[in-house]
Amino acid sequence: MITAFRKTAETFATGAKTLEQSYFVSPEIFAEEQEKIFSKQWVLVGHQSQIAKAGDYFVAKVASESLIIVRDKGGEVHGFYNVCRHRGTRLREDRNGHLSAIQCPYHAWTYGLDGRLLGAPHMDEVPGFDKADYPLHAVNLASWEGFTFVSLAESPTPLEEWFAPLAGKFSHWNLPKLCSAKRIEYDVRANWKLIFENYSECYHCPGVHPALSKLTPYDAAENDLATGPFLGGFMPITKGNSLTMSGNACALPVGDINAEDFHRVFYYSIFPNMLLSMHPDYVMVHQLWPRSPERTRILCDWFFHPGAFERADFHPNDAIEFWDMTNKQDWHVCELSQQGIASRSYQPGPYSPRESIPAAWDREYLRYVS
C-alpha cells in the first residue's frame, strides 16, 4: 500500500517495467522459486506466542513440506519434518496442539520433543538397530523479534546476520511480546509476487480501497527502506486514530510508541514471505505461501499487546474487519492481474513514479531466480 517516495529523481529508475509473463505463469520458474527461495531462505512460519508452553506445537507447510514446530521441555523450540523414520507416515494431522511426546499413529514409534527416537516396538530384535540412528529429521529454526523462521537449507546464513540491517529498528514496537487475537486464511488465485507488488504501492488505493483512502492519503507515503530484501516506510493517518472500521484505536498501544508515530502506519515487506503492518494499537502480519504459479495461500494474523485482551476498551474486530475488507479488495485485483498477465498480448508495462517499491521488490527478487 505504500506509494513510492517523494523525490523522484533520487530513487526511481526511469523506465522500470513489470516482470515478464513467464514469472507469473511458468511451472518451471515456480519450481525454481520453490527450490532457490522457499527451500533455501529463512521463511516466516509463526510467532513464539503460538507455542508459549513446553509441549505446544503447530504445523507449518513450507515448500510442500509439512513441519512440526514444537517447544521442548527445556523451553527450546525445534522444527522437524512431519515424517516418521519407520515407514514415512505423517505424524501429526492437526494444525496445532499440545504433546508430551510425538507418537506415530501407524506403528507407535515414539519420539521426544527434541526429536530423539524413544520407543520402537520389536526393533530391539533387529541385529544392529540403534535408536540413535533414527531421530526425526530437523530443520533450521531461529527467531527474530519474536517471529519464528525456518530454513530448509543445510547451512543457511545465520538469521541474525540476515536481519542485521534491521537490528533495533523495531524494538520499541514490542513485537516479541504481542499475541494474535485472530488468524484468517485466504486462498488467492494469483501469483505470490503480485501480492508483494500490490502491498508495496498505494497508487491503486483511490479506486480499490475507498474506506482506506479516507483515513490515509494514497500519495503521502514516506519510505525509509527502498532497496534490498526489506522494503517500506510509513503513511500518515490523517483522519481518526487508527485503521479501523470506526476510525478509533481498538486496543492499548502495542509498545512504546512516540507521539509522532501515533498517527502513522508502518508497512514493511520482508523477503520472501512476510508483510509487517504496524499500527499504533495492533500489528498485522501476512504470511505468503505460493501453491502454484497462479495460486497463493495467505495467513493473516492480528497481534495485540498481551495486556489489551482483558480490558473493556479491547475491540479487535474493529481492526480485523477493516483489514479483512481491505485484504479482499486487494486479492481481487491481484486475481484480475493474474488473469490478464496470462494473455499472449501481455507485455511488461511501465511502472509509475508511485510504484518504485514494487519495482525495487522485483529487482531484489531477480537476484534469486535466473
Where along the sequence are the contacts to its own copies (CB under 8 A)? 8, 14-15, 18, 21, 64-66, 81-91, 93, 105-108, 120-123, 125-129, 134, 137, 152, 197, 203-204, 206-208, 333, 336-337, 339-347, 349-350, 352-354
180 versus 338: smaller Cβ distance to its own copies: 338
**Stretch (H or E) spanning 66:** strand 65-71
| CA distance linking residue 366 with residue 370, whole number of Å | 7
CB of 160 to its own copies, least distance (A): 26
85 versus 305: smaller Cβ distance to its own copies: 85
CB of 238 to its own copies, least distance (A): 20
| CA distance linking residue 296 with residue 251, whole number of Å | 31
47 versus 354: smaller Cβ distance to its own copies: 354
121 versus 307: smaller Cβ distance to its own copies: 121
Backbone torsions φ then ψ of 29, nearest 5 degrees? -65, -35
Backbone torsions φ then ψ of 316, nearest 5 degrees? -60, -35
**Stretch (H or E) spanning 101:** none
84 versus 251: smaller Cβ distance to its own copies: 84
CB of 144 to its own copies, least distance (A): 25
Identity of the amino acid at 121: P
Q: Which of 99, 168, 176, 173 is nearest to 136 (CA)?
A: 99
CB of 291 to its own copies, least distance (A): 15
- The answer to whether 280 touches 257, Cβ cutoff 8 Å, is yes
CB of 24 to its own copies, least distance (A): 8
197 versus 294: smaller Cβ distance to its own copies: 197
- Number of CB atoms found within 10 A of residue 346's CB: 15
The DSSP annotation for 271-302 comes to TTTEEEEE-SS-EEEEEEEEEETTEEEEEEEE
52 versus 126: smaller Cβ distance to its own copies: 126
Contacts of residue 31, Cβ cutoff 8 Å, sequence gap at least 6: none
CB of 83 to its own copies, least distance (A): 4
> Which three three-digit cell numbers place residue 199?
502491498
Q: Which of 59, 61, 105 is nearest to 84 (CA)?
A: 105
**Stretch (H or E) spanning 22:** helix 22-25
CB of 107 to its own copies, least distance (A): 5
